[in-house]
Structures are given as structure tokens and as C-alpha cells.
Structure 1
Amino acid sequence: MSNRATAQKKPSKVESLKEKSNFLREPILTELQLDTTHFSEDGIQILKFHGSYQQDNRDNRKKGQEKDYQFMLRTRSPGGFIPPQLYLTLERLSEEYGNHTLRTTTRQGYQIHGILKKDLKTVISNIVKSMGSTLGACGDLNRNVMAPPAPYKNSPEYQLAWEYADKIADLLTPQTGAYYEIWLDGEKAISAEEAPEVKAARQKNGNGTIFTDSVEPIYGTHYMPRKFKCCVTVPGDNSVDIYTHDLSLVVITNKKGELQGFNILAGGGLGRTHRKEQTFARAADEIGFVAKNDVFDLVKAVVATQRDYGDRTDRRHARLKYLINDWGVEKFRNKVEEYFGKKLKPFKKLPQWKYEDYLGWHEQGDGKLFLGISIENGRVKNEGDFQLKNALKKVIEKYELPTRLTPNHNAIIYEIEPQWQEDIEKIFLSHGVEINPDNVNHLTRYAMACPALPTCGLATTESERIIPSILTRIDSLLAKLGMAEETFVIRMTGCPNGCARPYMAELGFVGDSPNVYQIWLGGCPNQTRLARPYVDKLNIAELETFLEPLLVYFRDSKKKKETFGQFCHRVGFDALRTFANEYQPNEENVMKKTTKKSRGTRNEHRISVNDEWYQKLKTISKNDNKPMSQIVSEALENYFTNQ
């Protein structure tokens, strides 16, 4: 076994499964031939490497009956790139074999839920034949490599980020033939040719970075101790949540836009376990700078360090963040430099990070346009008058347009000719899809939630299904307090593994048990600081009672342009708790700021309408591209004028 640091301890069971799998073939190859609805526990672990999780619909569990087994498939899509033929194939497969929806992930891929075991081979082979892949989208290896989704053709940095996201993804792709043998009967689909420098780098030994004469030169028999996550971005663009990855690279160019090299960060990761303090969320550290010609050797050196010294005895302690936390940055850097064969250069100074969501219309820089579409919780679906799935299909099919999925599970359609803009707008609006980001709810726009129940096997409570009602309640509370214009980053997960990155949010909900969440506060809008746990267990029924004093304190004591997360971090949790304990809800507290025009707040009087009228208002609003409040005001003005 390659692990040197834990050689005297007993490896975890998964290590043995990887060793016996014949490079990810078994027991998948054998069990796929069986007339069963699910794989064995051993099979489930190896299936992950092929991009699939075995799940069951917990809403359908009945005592004494077999579980409603189904499978989630996840695409490997470096930089979020989805060619038109792949989207159309995924859309079709989700209708024929899935649950009729697609899910954009927070790592810029698509997920199809609800696939049956007997259909897995058909679905995967169709994906591969349409320029897609699921290989390595899950499992103990490098996951989907992220990059900013903005298709700026006149910005060399953005094009370089895409290029190197692709190349690093290729470098770290499993080399075993198991994937094609199992799912395509050995037929390797035609795909883009790997760059020669990537092929050469994979076989270059350096100082022990590869296993010579191995099927897997970089990974070896046991692959990685746990999942490994990478991203490539440009200075200032933190659409990728740069501090949350095992390895992050920042493109550094000269004044002419020519690539010089990359800043390197390492050791980020968010997964943890409630009330086990040895597990924790961690932000990445600055490691150094590497010249462009050495970048693949550096990536391999980081991977080899984690591969050989990461903890293979305790999977809760197996991520790179724990190795760096245990060793310290200096020892880690020294070990990386041993594999790398030279010293790293100092980390280059960077501008401040800023989060961008790229919603709405933008120019690409080459005369064409791109359009960012907000996808609530990443769920691409058709529901009533809201027909996002059909709208995307129609636009992509008609104009053969590529898309880039964003790290905040939205989508960007690009390469749009200006003369197509009006028609594309009409298609989306006629399908009930809002394309003006100013009309997207201010909380929904910056919120994320993981799928959680009913399909995720790790979920302890709701997330995607409940967050719309949570945001509505928070929105109502803000209006009640005269803070209707305030917005902040809200993220929710159904368990502590952190798939929607709640530990970087200004207000994070982390599922603990049914209807109960741990609350994290103090992150910032640009995701450059970890939040901290504020309340261990909050029943979601008590949300308003919990949140009102904190919002009142923020409203009355914040600095100019300070956001909720920044305020919580500045004043500290002791001050928040003191104020909350002494807070007395009364009309004076609630109304204190509602009559003032400062700080961007406004007077708001809310009235209720029945659901039928609300749905009609919503439809008119989308069709006429007008806020609902404007439509109501015009109707009232007309009513009183004619009295």
C-alpha cells in the first residue's frame, strides 16, 4: 500500500475494496449481470468511481417491503462545459429513464436522479456517446475540476482557466479501461485528443510521483484516501469558492495577457460530522507560485503527497485538509517540494476576491452574447406554468448553443448572436422563466441548497424541498422589520457534509435531525471567510423567534454597506447572544426603522391575496416583464381613478 504515514495501522474497509476491484471492475461487472434492483455494499463503493450513487426514495419506504432503489448519475464536466448535444441527451434520458428533472450541482455538473439499475448501462453509454462522461464524478479520486463559467472571449485569463481546468481534469482522469469495458462493451467513444504535454506529464516520474508500469500511474492500486477537489480561477473571480478546495490554482498573466504561471492554494474542505470536533470545515492556505511549464508536475506533487500520506485508516480524517492541519503549511510545502524536485516561488499578490453570478445578458467580447439563467436550487424542471426544462431544450436545440454550469448551480448559455436575443427572451418568458436578474428574489438569487431528502442517503432532514419556504419566511421577517432591501448569502444542507457549502455562508443551515438545524453565522458575501457555528440545534419552527433579534441588532448597529455576515463577524457571537437574550419583541423594535429612508430601506405595506390571484399576478409579471408590485399599483390606481 502506498500510504506511508499510516502503514502501521489497519486500513479502512474501502481500501481493501479498491485493491480487490481489479482497477474498478469488480464487483460492478459481475453484479451488473444479476437480476437485482441494487448493488451490494461493496459494489456501491466501487460504483461511485463510475459516477453513480445508489439511493432509495425514502418517501416510498414501507415496512416489510424492499426499498425503492434508484441511482443518481453525475457528469464529469470540467469548467461546467455542456455541449448542446450532451444537454439534449441528458434532457431526453431524464425523461425516459429518470425522474423528469435534471439537477445542476455546486461543482458545475449535471445529475440525473431516479435511474433503475437495469437502465444504468443504457444511460451511461448514451452520455459518453454525446461527448459526456461520468467517470470520476464521484469516488476517491479527483472530482470535477471547476473554473469560472463566464465566457469572456477577450479575456485571456478566463480562456486560460478553462484550458487548464480541462488539462488538469485529463491529467487526473483514471486510466483504467474498466469504465469503457463495463458501460460501452470496451468501445472507447471518440473524444477530444489529450494535449501532448498532459500525456507526457502523466508518465513523468519526477521524485516518486507516479507508479511505473502501473495501470494507474498517478493513483496506483488504492487511488486516493478520499475525494480530491480542484479548481482553476482568475485573480479576483471567486465564483468558484476558491477556499473550499483541496487544490486551487489562480491564473497569473503579464500585462500582455500571456500566461506566467499559477498561484497555488491547498487544504480547503467543508465536510464534517456533528459533535465530533476532530472533523471540521477548513479554508485553504496559500502555498506558493509555480511557473506555467511546471504546473502539471506541481499538481502531481500535491496529489502524491496526499496519496502517500493522507489517512487511509479513518475516512473521516482522510481529506487533504486534515493532513495540512496536522502537519502545518511549512511541512506540507516541504514534502510537496520533495516530490516536485524544486522550491516553490512566493505566492503572488492578488486583488480582493469578489463573487459573481453572471445572471442576465452580457457581451462575450467577440460580438456575441451570453445569458445567465437563475435556477432555483439547481433543479431544472417543468412545473405548472414554469417550464424551464422545456425552455432550455427549445433554445439549445434551435440555436445549437453550448452552456456552462456555474458553481452556484445556475446556467450560462453562450455563443449567442445578437439577432437571436429577442427570440430567446420570448422563449424563456413564454415558458415562465425569469431572465432579468433584478426580478429574481433577492434572497433566492444568492441561496443554495443540496437535494437532501428523499433520495440522498446521508440526509438527516430536508434541504431543497424546504428552503423556498424558509426564504419566504425570512423575506417576510425582513419586510416586517423595515429591511426589505437587505440581502445576504443563505445556504442549506440536509447533513453536515456541506455539499451546498453552508460553512462559507452569511447564514448557514446544516441539517442535524428532522426539522432541526445547526446555524452558522459570520461568512461574507464573497466567500473568503469561514462562518462559525452559532446555535447547535434550532427547530425550524422557531426560525423567526431566533432570527428577529439578530436582524434588529444588525439593522440598528451596522456600519455603512456592512452585510449581515460581516456584522456578525465584527461584533462577535458574545455580543449577538447578549442582545438576543435581552431583546423584547414589541412594536417599537419592529417599527423603529420602517419610517426612515436611510440605508436603502423603504416603507412597505403588505397585503395578502388568495393563491389563484397570486398565480395570475405571477404569470402576468413574467409575461409583461414587470414586478408584481407595479402591476398591483397600476390596477389600484386605475380602480381609484374610476371611483
Structure 2
Amino acid sequence: MTNNLINTGKVSKVEVLKQKSNFLRGPIDTELNDGNPFFSQDGIQILKFHGSYQQKDRDLEKAKAKGEEAQYSMMLRTRSPGGFIPWQLYVALDKLSDRYGNHTLRATTRQGFQLHGILKENLKAVIVDITKNMGSTVGACGDINRNVMAPPAPFKNKPEYDYAREYAVKLADLLAPQAGAYYDIWLDGEVAVTASEAPEVTEARKRQGAGTAKTNISDIEPIYGTQYLPRKFKIAIAVAGDNSVDLYTNDLSLVVITNAANELEGFNVYVGGGLGRAHNNDATIVRIADSIGFVPVAKVYDLVKAIVALQRDYGDRHNRRHSRFKYILEEWGVEKFKQVLLEYYPTKLADSRELPPFKYQDYLGWHEQGDGKYFVGVSIESGRVLDREGLQLKTALREISEKFHHDFVLTPNQNLLITEIAADEKEEIQKILDRCGILAPDQIDTLVRYSMACPAFPTCGLAIAESERALPDILARIRKLLVRLGLEDETFVTRITGCPNGCARPYMAELAFVGSAVDEYQVWLGGSFNSTRLAQPYVQRLHINNLEKGLEPLFFYFKKDRVEDESFGDFCDRKGIEDLRQFAETYVSELPEEKAKGKRRDVRHRVTLSAKSFELLKKAVEEQGSSMKDIVEAALEKYLA
């Protein structure tokens, strides 16, 4: 990999823009009040650092008459380390969504909230209101450290959870931008401080020579310099045995290690995870993080600075598709990475501490906090907080927050925990949940419970196919198919995204759909229920109309050949993609209704191919997403005709 030190070598236009932006001020400072309903392309890039994306309503784009002006709006995302949402902030967000947004809130897969539909002219008013109510959006997007995740459960009798939450906040503060552009532009220079950062964080940021080596580092931004990072950087803090944060998908993950006295000793360190990729571009990859060792708590800030600075100096600043931290690990390997890391953190890391197996945790339903109080986990399907027929989720959360003043915590799986509930409040809160149609965990179809979707249409400019809006129907059809096959009690992790960027972490799912064309999806199989294993691509393009036809062979094979208590993801991983494809090639429906239609197994004859021809056929299957049978028959018909 080329060593792209700051301000040297060939760089992308975005890099030049960042350097000329006066630490993220321009051109936002001039465009905010220029009378246009939109920001320029340069403005859009810098706007991300302030927590906002410019979007268009793509439904209107499709329907509008030719020559009509595009309808622009802004998405605004909160910076909420560990998913913590003070009750005052929630009430403010709820009201803002009605006054300025599209009347919904959306819980993200990184424990923040998104507001959609904000007009440019109202953006400043919304940000001011958020900051006045103990919130922030700075650094929620852009080439910078993003929201730091932590297990959401507010246990008071499990110190490791307290440590995870504590360091999520401290690392978020350590890596927050320091130049003040956010306050200058949106708050007219007034610094809204919701909580003072820990003195140890301030001292660690200023400390030079420990994690901030190399050249051209500004005093104004002592970690990021003038151009910030080559791309976004994601951090999660996990608790041993609890993988609610999907730790393997992050650029940097830390696992809390405590001693017998429940004192924090340090963290196991994982680096190089990342799921963004592009279709038909083998140079873009999905990757899970590598374990590199253990860091004592006294050195954690220096190590985190060192890893971020290494990405700052060695990340690709020319090709943004190749600029994420994972490419350094993929191309260097762990050992070379450790050697270069010594230039920034000149102490060899100790061996990782042994950990118990990780489990999936969603914390839905009622739980004791360990201090005599309770928290309750509420499912938010696809993360969308809204009121609709039969479900008044938005009403329920507004009523509870206003009446009881209990803080919320967002989970990495798009759900929400209501915390600090006294024993004598449980009954009344449960009545509100019941009245508003919010289901208890055992009333939720498990396919729905363990699913996630990105927003996709109509707001995301990168969407190729539907995601959030398609998921309910897809899950209902899958459940119906499972019932017909005698697998009515089966469940697995299902995720869907409208494009290959992977915002809903599909590449870790047991079954995933990744948008590849209008109404068509790439299908991935074989991730694990506890999100510790990557899935693999099975079909390049499955049309939504062929969902049952594409999945029935897999589910039938699973029922027929699974071992005792084997999950669907483990089955697919054990069999392997080629074996699954070969079974599907010769499968004829076993469903009674299909047989009743008079369908029968086609007469099949075996033809032996040369190794070269077979490899060409396999390549065609991967590229076209068709079956071997269909490709061979089409080729023969064309040739013999």
C-alpha cells in the first residue's frame, strides 16, 4: 500500500476540499443563507461532518413532470455514544420530527437517531434545538470517528457494562473535532457544553508523540490534522460474551477485561472490520476484524490515537473506494500492521485475554437493572418510530418520556430501552405499551425480531432496490414458506439493504438480501446468529417475484440434512456455497400444492464437462446470477438453432 502521508501524493477532490475548508467551515458558512434550497456538491461533502446528508425524495423524482425542480431535504443524525438519549432530547427530537421533518424518527444501527425531511432553511433551527436539549450531531457523519457503540443494557450490578459505557463516551470525546466550526456555524460561536469531558481525555488528546506521530499535524486538530481521515472510522466497545455491538464489523473494537475484583484492567483489541463494498468490483471487500492483543487501561487513549493516526497517514486518500481502514489490514496482514503501529505506539501489545463465546443480545422485554429498578426493551421494526394503524409507537414513547422522564438507550439492532423504571411504575408503563399496540418479545415473529433493514428508498441516494419498505412482505413470505415446509418454528437473522454498502450489516446475517437492481437482490448465506462469521454470496440476482422459488431448495435441504439443533446459518456454512448451489440445481418442489399441479421431476441426463468448461460455467453463474441449467440450455438453444 502506498504511504499517503497528509498533503503528499495524489489525492481526491474531497481531500483538497477538506484542506481548503478552514477546518470544516467552508462552504457551509456561506451557503447556509444563500437563498437556495440546496447545498453545492462541495457543501454536501463538508455538511456530512456536521451530521447531515442532503437527500431527495426519490418517489417524487420518479413521479415529477420533466423540468420540475428537484425536492431537496436534509437528514440529520445524532451523535449519541453508547446509544444514550436523555429524555429531554427524545422529546425535542419527537417534536422536531413533526414540526420540521417527515413525522418519523429512525433508530440507526449505530445507536443514534435520524431525522428525515428537514428543509435547508430549517436546518440551523433544528440543530440549535438539539444542542439545547443535551444532544449533538457533530461528527455523526463524515471522514471522522463516528458514533462509538457500547452494549445498551444499563446494568448496575455488572461493572463491565459501566466500563463499556464510560469509555464509549470518553473515546467519543477524545476523537471529537476540535476546531469549533460546528459551534461557529450553527450556534453563532456559542459552545454548548452538555457535560465536561474527563480531564484525562483532554490531557491525552494534547499529548504529542504518543499516537500523533508523523507530519503536518495542526495544533487546532492535534489528532486529525487539516484533512481529517481518509474515510469514516467506526469504534465499538463490547463486554465479554455480549456481541450486541457486532464488534467484528468495526474498524476498531475493544472488549472490556476485568479482574476478580471487577476492576477494569484493560481491553482486548480488534482492528480492520468493515462491510462497505460495491457490486462487480472485486477490489472492494467485506472483512471482519482481527485480534491484535491486549492494552492496559492506562494506555488505551494512546493506543486508540495511534490506530486512528495510522489510518490518517497510511489510508488511501486518492481512491475513496479503497480508503477504509480494513484495506490496510487486508493488504498488509496483521504482523506488518503491528510493526508499523510501533511507530505510533512504541510498546508491543500483550497477548489477548481469553474470552467466553459471544452471544446475541437484544434486551427486549423487562429486565432488572441490578439496583432495584428495571428497564424494558421495545422492538422498533426496521428502526422506524412512527404511528400507524394498530401501532402507535411514536405516541407511546412520547407519552412515557414526558410523563416519567426516563432516559432511553438505543441498541445496535435498532431497538430502544426505557431505563430507570421504579417498581411502582412498571404497571402503568406496560399499560401504555399495551394500549399503543407494542408487542411483548414472545408475541413478535422471531424473523421480524432478528431482522434489520436500511432506509433505502425514498431518501437514500445510493439505493438500488427497496429495503425498509420491502422487508415486512419479504419476512411474511419467508415465514409462510417455512410453515409450508414444516419449519414453522424456525428462525434466523435476516437483513436487507438497498445497495452493497451494507448499512444494516447484511454480510454477517444468516440470510441477507443486498440490492443489485430494481426489485432484484444478491443473496448472502452462512453468517452466524451471534455475528461472529461472515456470510458468503450465493446468488447474484434474485428477483423479488422469485423469492419462494429461490429459497425453497435451501430450506428443504436444511430440513433434510441439518444436524441436531443446527441453525440455518451454521448449516449453510457447513455445507458451503457450491454444495448449496448444486442441490438447488436439481431440486424439484416437494410442496404438496406444487405436486398437485401436476409438476414432476424433469428427465435429467448427466453430461461430463472438461475442467476448463466447468470453470467457465461457474464463472458465468457468479456473474449472471442464473443457474447452471439455465445457462447451459440457453447456450445450447442458441448454438443448435
1: distance between equivalents of 2:298 and 2:210?
17
**2: distance between equivalents of 1:587 and 1:383?**
36
Name the CA distance, whole Å, in 2 between partners of 1:258 and 1:331: 33
Equivalent in the alignment of 1:606: none
- Pair 1:440-2:429 in alignment: no
**Post-superposition shift, 1:337?**
2.2
Which runs of structure 2 are paired with 1:1-80 in the superposition (5 Å)? 4=4, 9-61=9-61, 62=64, 63-80=66-83
Q: 1:384 offset after TM fit, Å? A: 2.2
Equivalent-residue separation in structure 2 for 1:170 and 1:337 (angstroms): 24
- Cα deviation for residue 588 of structure 1 reads 6.1
Match of 1:138 among 138, 141, 148: 141
Q: TM-score, normalization: structure 1? A: 0.90
Deviation at 1:428, TM superposition (A): 1.0
1:558 alignment counterpart = 562
Change (3 A) 1:473 1:208: closer
How do 1:98-497 residues align onto structure 2 when only pairs under 5 Å count? 98-207=101-210, 209=212, 214-434=219-439, 436-497=440-501
The secondary structure found in structure 1 opposite 2:243 is: coil
Residues 590 and 150 of structure 1: CA distance in aligned 2, closer, same or farther (over 3 Å): farther
Shift in CA distance, 212/478, structure 1 to aligned 2, threshold 3 Å: closer
Q: C-alpha displacement at 1:99, in angstroms? A: 0.2
Deviations 1:180-218 (A, max 9, x none): 111111111132111010000000112561666521110
Matches within 5 A, 1:486-565: 486-565=490-569
Paired AA for residue 152 in structure 2: P
Cα distance in 2 between the residues matched to 1:388 and 1:480: 32
The CA deviation at 1:513 is 1.1
Structure 2 residue identity aligned to 1:527: S
Contact 2:484 2:591 in 1 (8 A): no
Aligned equivalents of 2:591, 2:418: Cα separation in 1: 48
Give the whole-Å Cα distance in 1 for the aligned partners of 2:329 and 2:340.
11
**1:351-408 CA distance string (max 9 Å, x none):** 1111100000000000000000000000000112311001001011111000110000
Cα separation, 2, equivalents of 1:3 and 1:377: 40
Task: Tell me, in whole angstroms, the C-alpha distance in 2 between the residues paired with 1:506 and 1:45.
Answer: 35
Give 1:544's aligned amino acid: E
Report deviation, 1:492: 0.2
CA contact (8 A) 1:337 1:344 kept: no
What one-letter code is carried by the residue in structure 1 that aligns with 2:358?
W
Instruction: Please say if residues 6 and 311 of structure 1, whose CA atoms lie closer than 8 Å, have aligned partners that are also in contact.
Output: no
Aligned 8 A contact 2:217 2:224 in 1: no
CA distance in 1, matches of 2:585, 2:322: 37
> 1:546, 1:277 → 2: CA distance?
25
Name the SS for the 1:340 alignment partner. coil
Q: Give the 3-state SS of the residue equivalent to 1:338 in structure 2.
A: coil
Contact 2:218 2:225 in 1 (8 A): no
Q: Which amino acid aligns with 2:60?
A: N
How far did residue 330 of structure 1 move?
0.7
CA distance in 1, matches of 2:174, 2:149: 14
In structure 2, what residue type is equivalent to 1:98?
G
Q: Using the alignment, how far apart are the partners of 1:163 and 1:336 within structure 2?
A: 26
Question: 2-side partners of 1:11 and 1:214: how far apart?
Answer: 23
Correspondence for 1:637: none
Q: What code does the residue aligned with 1:458 have? A: L
The separation in 2 between residues aligned to 1:588 and 1:458, in whole angstroms, is 41
Deviation of 1:333 after TM superposition, in Å, equals: 1.2
Please give the alpha-carbon distance, in whole angstroms, between the structure 2 residues aligned to 1:115 and 1:381: 17
**Shift of residue 574, structure 1, vs aligned partner:** 1.9
Q: Are the counterparts in 2 of residues 3 and 312 from structure 1 also a CA contact under 8 Å? A: no
Is there any run of 5+ residues in structure 2 with no aligned partner, and where?
Answer: 596-641
Q: CA deviation at 1:344?
A: 0.8
* 1:577 and 2:581 matched: yes
**Deviation digits for residues 103-149 of structure 1 (CA, Å, limit 9, x no counterpart):** 00000000000000000000001001100000000000000000000
Q: Whole-Å Cα distance in 1 between the matches of residues 13 and 209 of structure 2?
A: 31
Residues 56 and 70 in structure 1, CA contact (< 8 A), matched pair in contact too:
yes
Measure how far apart 1:586 and its partner are: 3.3
Contact 1:3 1:307 in 2 (8 A): no
Match for 1:492: what amino acid? I
Q: What residue is the counterpart of 2:619 in the other structure?
A: none
In 2, Cα distance between equivalents of 1:380 and 1:8: 46
Q: Quick check: 333-342 or 463-472, which moved more?
A: 333-342
Judge conservation of contact 1:80–1:147 (CA < 8 Å) in 2: yes
Q: 1:48 to 1:3 in 2, by over 3 A?
A: farther
TM-score by length of 2: 0.90
Where 2:202 maps in the other structure, the secondary structure is helix
How far, CA to CA, are the matches of 2:211 and 2:98 in structure 1?
47
Structure 2 counterpart SS, 1:339: coil
Quick one: which amino acid aligns to residue 108 of structure 2? T
CA contact (8 A) 2:211 2:345 kept: no
Partner secondary structure for residue 100 of structure 1 = coil
Q: Which amino acid aligns with 2:55?
A: Q
Determine if contact 2:4/2:317 at 8 Å carries over to the other structure: no
User: 1:126 is matched by which residue type in structure 2?
Assistant: D
Q: Secondary structure at the match of 2:342?
A: helix
Kindly indicate whether the alpha-carbon contact (under 8 Å) linking 1:522 and 1:530 is maintained by their aligned counterparts in 2. yes
Deviation at 1:518, TM superposition (A): 0.5
> What is the rounded CA distance, in whole Å, between the counterparts of 1:58 and 1:304 in structure 2?
38
Shift of 1:4: 3.6
Give unpaired runs (5+ residues) of structure 1. Answer: 592-643
Question: CA RMSD of the aligned region, Å?
Answer: 1.4
Q: Which amino acid aligns with 2:296?
A: A
Rounded Cα–Cα distance in structure 1 between residues aligned with 2:42 and 2:460: 18
Cα distance in 2 for residues equivalent to 1:378 and 1:70: 20
Query: Matches of 1:319 and 1:361 in 2, distance apart?
Result: 39
Secondary structure of 1:187's aligned partner: coil
Q: Deviations over 1:244-271 (max 9, x none)?
A: 0000000100011000001000000000
| Identity among equivalent pairs (%) | 60
Specify the SS of the correspondent of 2:420. Answer: strand
Q: Report the CA distance shift for 1:74/1:557 in structure 2 as closer, same or farther (over 3 A).
A: same
Point out the more displaced range, 211-220 or 186-195. 211-220
SS of the counterpart of 1:443? helix
* CA shift for structure 1 position 282: 0.3
Aligned pairs, number: 589
Distance 2:196 2:565 in 1: 49
Q: State the alpha-carbon separation in 2 of the partners of residues 147 and 466 from structure 1.
A: 29
Aligned partner of 1:177: which letter? G
